[in-house]
Amino acid sequence: MHVTAIIAAGGRGQRFGGVEPKQLLAIGGRPILERSVEAFLAHPAIDAVVVALPQPLVDDPPSYLRPRPGAGRGASTKPLRLVAGGDRRQDSVANAFRTVDASSDIIVIHDAARPFVTSDLIARTIAAAAEAGAAVAAVAARDTVKRSSAAAGSRRTVSETLPRETIFLAQTPQAFRRAVLEQALAAAARESFEATDEAALVEHAGHAVRLVEGDASNIKITLPADVPVAEAIAETLRIAECGMRNDSGLESAIRNPQSAMASAPARTGRAGTGYDLHRLVPGRPLILGGVTIPSDRGALGHSDADVVCHAITDAILGGACLGDIGRHFPDSDPQWKDASSVDLLRRAAALVAGEGLEVGNVDVTVILETPKIRGYVDAMRAAVAGAIGLDIARVSIKGKTNEGMDAIGRGEAIAAHAVALLRSASH
């Protein structure tokens, strides 16, 4: 069974407000759109992904929507296609559907503004659609439901109380057999029928839609008031990922945040480690800790190849469970070509601060046969301390050799190891 996912991200987020599109908003240090797309790229049942975007984002997409062979987490060999969205959601979906491979049996549609969809919910929705033809994730209403009168504002009155057990709140993903969705889209276009989701289009076309139990945490970020809730879910996920390291633990944590927080490791006294190695070649500057060291050879790399800053960056990102330098500043992205690694370190420190953590101290060992770095250590410490926002007394940098052994010992490479201690910013 071939399954294609369509991520509906063509809207402009007018209800949300703001200068940039809502889908680019970072929640827990990662854009909403990146989280939603990665959920489907990483899912074993999904064979291809199409993302409907505003035209400017199609013309100049963010790095996580560009080809990233071998870039680590989030990298995928699955086809990822970008298409321009339309004025309405159903127009965006129709544009995306026209690009779907003819071999696709099931089409899954998901709102980019729902960044916390789980692997289990995706799988259940696909299975229900394969069996019934159409399926929608939905959660049962918990409150008593009232239908209002037609009057607007404060003059509204209750016209009817609806049976709560019959009311469900629709979410995404929504999944359909290809022929069912194709017929529904064609009927809507022919009859000028408008709907706020694809399940309604399919209902209008005369098909039954199976209800699949949704997730309370699968929220849609629509208004600024939704952001604090989303940040809390992202924090629960982050802690669960660090403390549990398995899918079942993550799913459990999303459904029961209080339990996950209670069993999670303390947010103080966290440690991260970092390592970096580069070849040494003629014609490149040797930059360490933001300081250019006189040398006839320098480190080869996409950025300025500063092993000190790279190792520290990985250490502090690791301590915060935010991945590594390649995830945030991939060498496949032209904007990081010849970038200052001190600047990358500064950006990483800001990401960590956004997680409510601060760096307590860092310790780095540089492994290099020649030249000796002792005379430059204090300048390096000062540059690193400034990037992280630390007192220089909390930054240690020291040099070692490999006593003539291996590539480093032969002067062909340079490496660095780093350790960073993190703590809660409120500690």
Average pLDDT over residues 356-367: 91
Separation of alpha carbons 97 and 185, rounded Å: 9
More confident residue, 179 or 245: 179
pLDDT tens digits, one per residue of 54-78: 999 999 998 889 865 444 344 457 8
Percent of the chain exceeding pLDDT 70 equals: 87
Do both 256 and 276 map to the same domain?
no
More confident residue, 125 or 331: 125
* C-alpha torsion angle, residues 255, 261, 265, 268 (rounded to 10): 140
| Of 186-195, 266-275, 382-391, minimum mean pLDDT range | 266-275
Across the chain, what does the average pLDDT equal? Answer: 85
pLDDT for res 19: 57
Do both 237 and 383 map to the same domain?
no
Average pLDDT over residues 88-113: 93
pLDDT tens digits, one per residue of 382-407: 999 999 988 898 999 999 998 888 88
Do both 416 and 275 map to the same domain?
yes
Residue 138 pLDDT class (50, 70, 90 cuts):
very high
Do both 66 and 123 map to the same domain?
yes
Report whether 309 contacts 290 (CB < 8 A).
yes
pLDDT at position 227 over 50:
yes
Do both 247 and 274 map to the same domain?
no
More confident residue, 251 or 167: 167
Do both 203 and 234 map to the same domain?
no
For residue 252, what are the domain limits?
223-265
Percent of the chain exceeding pLDDT 90 equals: 52
Overall number of domains in the chain:
3
Do both 303 and 359 map to the same domain?
yes
Do both 178 and 300 map to the same domain?
no
pLDDT at position 245 over 50:
no
* CB-neighbour burial class of residue 301 (10 A; exposed 0-12, middle 13-18, buried 19+): buried
pLDDT tens digits, one per residue of 404-418: 888 898 989 999 999
Whole-model pTM: value is 0.59
Separation of alpha carbons 94 and 85, rounded Å: 9
Task: For helices 119-132 and 247-255, give the axis angle rounded to 10 degrees.
Answer: 90
- Give the CATH number for residue 361: 3.30.1330.50
Do both 201 and 297 map to the same domain?
no
Average pLDDT over residues 276-283: 92
pLDDT for res 218: 92
Do both 329 and 202 map to the same domain?
no
Report whether 412 contacts 327 (CB < 8 A).
no
pLDDT for res 265: 42
60: region left, alpha or beta (phi > 0 left; psi from -120 to 50 alpha): beta
Query: What phi and psi values does residue 21 have, to the nearest 5 degrees?
Result: -55, 140
Cis before 371? omega within 30? yes
Do both 204 and 169 map to the same domain?
yes
pLDDT for res 243: 55
Residue 364 pLDDT class (50, 70, 90 cuts):
very high
Q: Which of 186, 201, 219 is the last residue of a domain?
A: 219
Q: Which of 234, 265, 296 is the last residue of a domain?
A: 265
Report whether 352 contacts 373 (CB < 8 A).
no
Do both 35 and 181 map to the same domain?
yes
3 state SS for the chain: CCEEEEEECCCCCCCCCCCCCHHHCEECCEEHHHHHHHHHHCCCCCCEEEEEECHHHHHCCCHHHCCCCCCCCCCCCCCEEEEECCCCHHHHHHHHHCCCCCCCCEEEEEECCCCCCCHHHHHHHHHHHHHHCEEEEEEECCCCEEEECCCCHHHCCEEEEECHHHCEEEEEEEEEEHHHHHHHHHHHHHHCCCCCCHHHHHHHCCCCCEEEECCCCCCCCCCHHHHHHHHHHHHHHHHHHHHCCCHHHHHHHHHCHHHHHHHCCCCCCEEEEEEEEEEEEECCCEEECCEEECCCEEECCCCCCCHHHHHHHHHHHHHCCCCCHHHHCCCCCHHHCCCCHHHHHHHHHHHHHHCCEEEEEEEEEEECCCCCCHHHHHHHHHHHHHHHCCCHHHEEEEEECCCCCHHHHCCCEEEEEEEEEEEECCC
Average pLDDT over residues 282-300: 92
